[in-house]
């Protein structure tokens, strides 16, 4: 069976746990995601550990956000690890996104638009007044113009972003919660089935899978539900 278009967020405190989660979920999902917690603790070695024998696609979520020269150097430094995807913050601007794209030619650069943990009230407080989907649409357009071929947004904005950027861009949505699951610190959320139906290409799901007593079974259940809803 083809693995489901899910990136499991391996937000673990230690490498052994992350590698165990990765081994349990890789039969069911296309991708595993390494974020700041693991990378800052273990560095580049973490990539090989979670890739394991399966050779699953690794998404390196470092959310780079700095001046173009610094981001270029950082993207170059991690591109030798050959992550399939690397995140940068869209709010770093066009030149910064271009620098990342040029410095990591074998990695897909994904621009994070507006964090899924932010409400519209939070956005107002940081000076981004107006509906979240308008800010997300604007950042999405800017990022694609700068050469990003993937975008990160919440499932609530995915249809607006798809209409803006067309079919060729990979849309990645965190803020995904199966029906009844706790929202935790996520603010703009939807179910996996809804996110996919609205046009997402890859769903980022962490705690609803890794917080389960059996992460392999939790990943398999979500994958099966996606197959039932979207053939
Ligand atoms: O870039 C991301 O992956 C990301 C962007 C965003 O806007 N929101 C967001 O939650 N994420 C990441 O997606 C994962 C979500 O994890 P859960 O909330 O546990 O499903 C975490 O690893 C976050 O770092």
CB 117 within 8 A of CB 93: no
Q: Is the CB of 206 under 6 A from ligand 1?
A: yes
Q: How far apart are CA 154 and CA 180, in angstroms?
A: 18
Nearest-CA residue for ligand 1 atom 18 is: 206
For residues 82-91, average pLDDT:
98
Q: What is the pLDDT of residues 134-180, one digit of tens each?
A: 999 999 999 999 999 999 999 999 999 999 999 999 999 999 999 99
Closest atom of ligand 1 relative to the 117 alpha carbon: 8
Q: Which pair of structure tokens corresponds to residue 212?
A: 């389960």
For ligand 1, say whether the CB of 187 is within 6 Å of any of its atoms.
no
**Taking the C-alpha atoms of 119, 120, 125 and 128 in order, what is their torsion angle to the nearest 10 degrees?**
120
Q: Is the CB of 150 under 6 A from ligand 1?
A: no
Quote the DSSP letter at residue 204: E
Query: Could you tell me the distance, in angstroms and rounded to a whole number, from the CA of residue 13 to the centre of ligand 1?
Result: 16
214 contacts 200 by C-beta, under 8 angstroms:
no
What span, in angstroms and rounded, lies between the C-alpha atoms of 22 and 8? 8
Distance of CA 220 to the CA centre of its chain: 19
**Residue among 21, 153, 206, 207 whose CB has most ligand 1 atoms within 8 A, to mutate:** 206
Q: What DSSP assignment string belongs to 62-105?
A: EEE-S-HHHHHHHHHHHHTT--SEEEEEGGG-HHHHHHHHHH-T
By the 10 Å C-beta count (0-12 exposed, 13-18 middle, 19+ buried), 76 is classed as middle
Residue nearest to atom 5 of ligand 1 (CA): 115
Write down the CATH superfamily of domain 4-228.
Aldolase class I (3.20.20.70)
pLDDT at position 56 over 80: yes
Gap from CA of 116 to ligand 1 centroid (Å): 7
Does the CB atom of residue 157 touch ligand 1 within 6 A? no
| pLDDT confidence of residue 231 | 64
Domain ranges for the chain, please list them.
Answer: 4-228
- For the chain, what percent of residues have pLDDT higher than 70? 100
pLDDT tens digits, 6-33: 999 999 999 999 999 999 999 999 999 9
Per the listing, tokens 């899978």 go with 209
- Contact 172 CB / ligand 1 (< 6 Å): no
Q: Which residues contact 185 (CB under 8 A, 6 or more apart)?
A: 117
The catalytic residue positions are: 61, 63, 66
Q: Are 159 and 173 in contact (CB under 8 A)?
A: no
Q: What ipTM was predicted for this assembly? A: 0.99
Q: Long-range contacts for 161-165 (Cβ within 8 Å, ≥24 apart)?
A: 161/113, 161/136, 161/137, 161/199, 162/198, 162/199, 164/137, 164/140, 165/140, 165/141
């Amino acid at each position: 069976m083809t693995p489901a278009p899910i990136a499991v967020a391996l937000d673990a405190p230690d490498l052994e746990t992350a590698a165990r989660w990765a081994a349990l979920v890789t039969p069911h999902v296309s991708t595993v995601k390494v974020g700041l917690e693991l990378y800052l603790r273990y560095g580049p070695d973490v990539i090989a550990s979670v890739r394991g024998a399966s050779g699953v696609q690794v998404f390196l979520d470092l959310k780079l956000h700095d001046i173009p020269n610094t981001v270029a150097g950082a993207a170059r430094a991690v591109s030798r690890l050959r992550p399939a995807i690397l995140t940068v913050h869209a709010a770093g601007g066009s030149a910064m996104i271009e620098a990342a794209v040029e410095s990591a030619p074998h990695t897909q650069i994904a621009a994070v638009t507006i964090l899924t943990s932010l409400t519209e009230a939070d956005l107002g407080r940081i000076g981004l007044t107006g509906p979240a989907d308008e800010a997300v649409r604007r950042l999405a357009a800017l990022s694609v113009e700068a050469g990003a071929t993937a975008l990160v947004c919440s499932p609530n904005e995915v249809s607006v972003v798809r209409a803006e950027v067309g079919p060729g861009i990979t849309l990645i949505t965190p803020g995904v919660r199966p029906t009844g699951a706790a929202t935790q610190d996520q603010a703009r959320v939807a179910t996996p089935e809804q996110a996919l139906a609205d046009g997402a290409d890859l769903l980022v799901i962490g705690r609803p899978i890794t917080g389960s007593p059996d992460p392999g079974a939790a990943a398999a259940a979500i994958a099966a539900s996606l197959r039932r809803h979207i053939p």
